[in-house]
């Protein structure tokens, strides 16, 4: 798939929105982990990226998503692979990180 000027502009706009929203999270005193989660949610919700609602279909015609989130200070992590019908898999990965012991 080739990139057009239009698709690059849309992607650039989406990245700027993700950066702006994650900066707002940091400015409000929340953690870097919260800011990363917010940025990923913005991108998952944007059809211009190959994540979330913009994902490519697998061989069977389904969207399957993989994601991992890591807390750099504790090295705790949460991940999911090949999940279907999850709007924001980053939220599921974070819940796994916070509710299970995986280190």
Quick check: 1 pLDDT over 90?
Answer: no
Residue 66's alpha-carbon distances to 13, 22, 23, 37, 48, in angstroms, are 24, 21, 25, 14, 18
Domain coordinates in residue numbering, the chain:
5-99
Quick check: 103 pLDDT over 60?
Answer: no
| Residue 85 pLDDT class (50, 70, 90 cuts) | very high
Mean pLDDT rounded to a whole number for the chain: 93
Whether pTM exceeds 0.85: yes
Quick check: 71 pLDDT over 80?
Answer: yes
pLDDT of residue 64: 94
């Amino acid at each position: 798939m080739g990139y057009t000027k239009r698709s690059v502009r849309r992607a650039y706009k989406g990245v700027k929105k993700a950066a702006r929203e994650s900066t707002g999270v940091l400015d409000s005193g929340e953690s870097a982990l919260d800011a990363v989660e917010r940025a990923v949610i913005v991108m998952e919700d944007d059809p211009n990226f190959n994540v979330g609602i913009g994902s490519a279909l697998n061989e069977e015609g389904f969207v399957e998503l993989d994601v991992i989130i890591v807390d750099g200070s504790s090295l705790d992590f949460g991940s999911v692979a090949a999940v279907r019908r999850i709007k924001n898999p980053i939220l599921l990965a974070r819940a796994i990180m916070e509710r299970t012991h995986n280190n």
